[in-house]
Amino acid sequence: MADEKLNKSIQREIQNATVKILVGGKPEGTGFFITPDGYVLTAYHCIKHKPTEVVVRTCFDEEFPADLDKAKSLSEGRYDIAVLKVNYQTPHYLPLGVISRTYLKDAVEACGYPASHKPENKESGLYSGEISRFREDNRIEIDAIKGQGQSGGPIYHYASNRVIALASAGYKLVVGEEVGKGEIVTDLGLAVRLEPLFDRWVELESITGQVAKEWDKRLEQLGVTSPSEKVQNQGVANVTQTVHNYGEVNKQVNIGHINGTVNL
């Protein structure tokens, strides 16, 4: 019961830092604050080729125009990470980190706005899952990505107490009896790991290091212990050691046929 209460406290903090990305007044995805001075991460494909205004909407219904920092961003493809900046000081932001394939099957929590185009889906959702596979294209496969609108949302890793990836795409799965009928469902998803972002944005390691210290203090007040030394040694301090350690673990999908991926 105590662990459940602590997890709910963490989940509330994650939701407070998670935002909806609006382009031209329409919801296009999810993002999250990573610094107190208004840096936001989202999926690049959510804002690519969008000439109209990009707006960040917090869970408190505050809206702020956002600028794309192209110098720090990684374009759509195997990376798909956009760095946005808003003129806003926020008390809600999340620390970043990296992990190796040692943590296969670890628990994660995803947060985002799947199906946010529907008026009844105003609030963000929380989706628990686990890491199913480390792919060789800088992505991890998880079962906590549920649908379009969740792209850019944080993937929080409980063992390290860090955001280790952001939601990017879903598998297109054709369900058994519907094979050949064109009906697809998204049941598994892909999240982009953050190692290349640390390479591109050289100051990020020190920035998120300070954010992580503040986050750990906040968690200690909630009764959450700091990450183990083993996990910390796989984290931000050693990001350059893990950038090329993607690996590949086989996973069989029994409910249908994988038919490529689709951006969310």
**CATH number of the structural domain spanning residue 45:** 2.40.10.10
On whether both 182 and 139 belong to a single domain, the answer is yes
- pLDDT the model gives residue 139: 92
On whether both 56 and 141 belong to a single domain, the answer is no
pTM of the predicted structure, to 2 decimals: 0.81
Rg of the chain over CA atoms, in angstroms? 17
- pLDDT the model gives residue 216: 95
- pLDDT the model gives residue 201: 97
Domain count, the chain: 2
On whether both 127 and 73 belong to a single domain, the answer is no
On whether both 153 and 248 belong to a single domain, the answer is yes
On whether both 41 and 130 belong to a single domain, the answer is no
On whether both 81 and 109 belong to a single domain, the answer is no
Residue 75 CB: number of other CB atoms within 10 A?
Answer: 13
Distance between CA atoms of 151 and 166, rounded to whole angstroms?
Answer: 7
Final residue of a domain: which of 32, 64, 93? 93
On whether both 171 and 120 belong to a single domain, the answer is yes
On whether both 165 and 35 belong to a single domain, the answer is no
Structural tokens at position 177: 């009896």
- pLDDT the model gives residue 186: 54
- pLDDT the model gives residue 51: 66
Distance between CA atoms of 113 and 116, rounded to whole angstroms?
Answer: 5
Give the mean pLDDT of the chain.
81
Final residue of a domain: which of 42, 72, 93? 93
For the stretch 6-19, pLDDT in tens is: 888 999 999 999 99
For the stretch 199-246, pLDDT in tens is: 999 999 999 999 999 999 999 888 876 664 445 544 444 443 333 332
Instruction: Supply the DSSP symbol for 225.
Output: P
Local structure of 12: helix, strand or coil: helix
Distance between CA atoms of 55 and 256, rounded to whole angstroms?
Answer: 38
Distance between CA atoms of 150 and 99, rounded to whole angstroms?
Answer: 22
Nearest to 153 by CA among 180, 97, 98, 114: 114
- pLDDT the model gives residue 118: 62
- pLDDT the model gives residue 7: 85
For the stretch 180-200, pLDDT in tens is: 454 444 567 899 999 999 999
- pLDDT the model gives residue 86: 98
With cut-offs at 50, 70 and 90, classify the pLDDT of residue 94. Answer: very high
Q: Which domain holds residue 80?
A: 2-93
On whether both 10 and 139 belong to a single domain, the answer is no
On whether both 86 and 126 belong to a single domain, the answer is no
On whether both 109 and 135 belong to a single domain, the answer is yes
Distance between CA atoms of 15 and 241, rounded to whole angstroms?
Answer: 31
- pLDDT the model gives residue 199: 95
For the stretch 105-144, pLDDT in tens is: 999 999 999 865 666 566 788 999 999 999 988 999 999 8
Final residue of a domain: which of 72, 93, 114? 93
Domain-embedded: residue 245:
yes
